[in-house]
Amino acid sequence: MKFGDRDAFTQLYNLHSERLLCNLLRLVKSREMALEILQDIFVKIWDRREKIDVQRSFGSYLSRVGENLIYDFYRKVTREKKQLAQFRASATEDFVPAEDSVLNNESEFLLKKAIENLPPQRKKVFELCKIEGKSYSEVSNELGISTSTINDHVVKATRMIRVFMHTNNATAFYLIGTFILNF
């Protein structure tokens, strides 16, 4: 085999391939992958035939080549899993299903509508505190009203918005559901 004797190589293949295939199957749990790795083992043996030390155990050499290919296989599988996970994460990161997008737009529209329906002073207080993020004392100084009045406006505005959203959201969900089902 060392000098390219194909018959000797075929004999080595016939002698070792069945046992090697059984070991590979046990390790990779896939017949197709085990056969592919088995083929790779014997291709490497053929490519390195001139460097094989005939004084050493051929079975040990064969096992070492097989182990290295198994390690390579699992490294490749691990790398591919990581790449797939990264791909999935980046693909779904900015993905918003159509229904979610419609619901978010509808909810945002309803919230704006609810805020518009607030009495003018209550609307102003709510926007300053909840939209702009100002503290009650800052709004109190700006509008010249007490913090307890600010608190009262925020509590009542929140309650009114919640009622408005609840009342109109049922209708919106019905309309969206009807739209999606008939689309």
Domains defined along the chain, listed by start? 6-93 (1.10.1740.10), 98-182 (1.10.10.10)
pLDDT in tens, 43-98: 988 888 888 877 788 888 888 888 888 888 888 888 888 887 877 776 555 555 55
User: Tokens 């592919």, residue?
Assistant: 36
Average pLDDT over residues 172-180: 45
CA 136 vs. chain centroid, Å, equals 42
Task: State the pLDDT at residue 183.
Answer: 39
What are the phi and psi torsion angles at 128 (to 5°)? -65, -45
DSSP state of 127: I
Task: State the pLDDT at residue 180.
Answer: 40
Among 150, 131, 153, which Cα is nearest to 140's?
Answer: 150
* Residues 6 or more apart whose Cβ sits within 8 Å of residue 57: none
Rounded Cα gap, residues 172 and 163, in angstroms: 14
Kindly state the tokens that stand for 112: 């704006």
pLDDT in tens, 112-152: 888 899 999 999 998 898 888 888 889 999 999 998 999 89
Residue 35: Cβ within 10 Å count: 15
Among 3, 168, 178, which Cα is nearest to 99's?
Answer: 178
Cα distances from 65 to residues 51, 71, 156, in angstroms, run 13, 10, 76
What is the four-CA torsion angle of 13, 19, 20, 26, rounded to 10 degrees? 160
CA 8 vs. chain centroid, Å, equals 51
Task: State the pLDDT at residue 55.
Answer: 78
DSSP state of 132: S
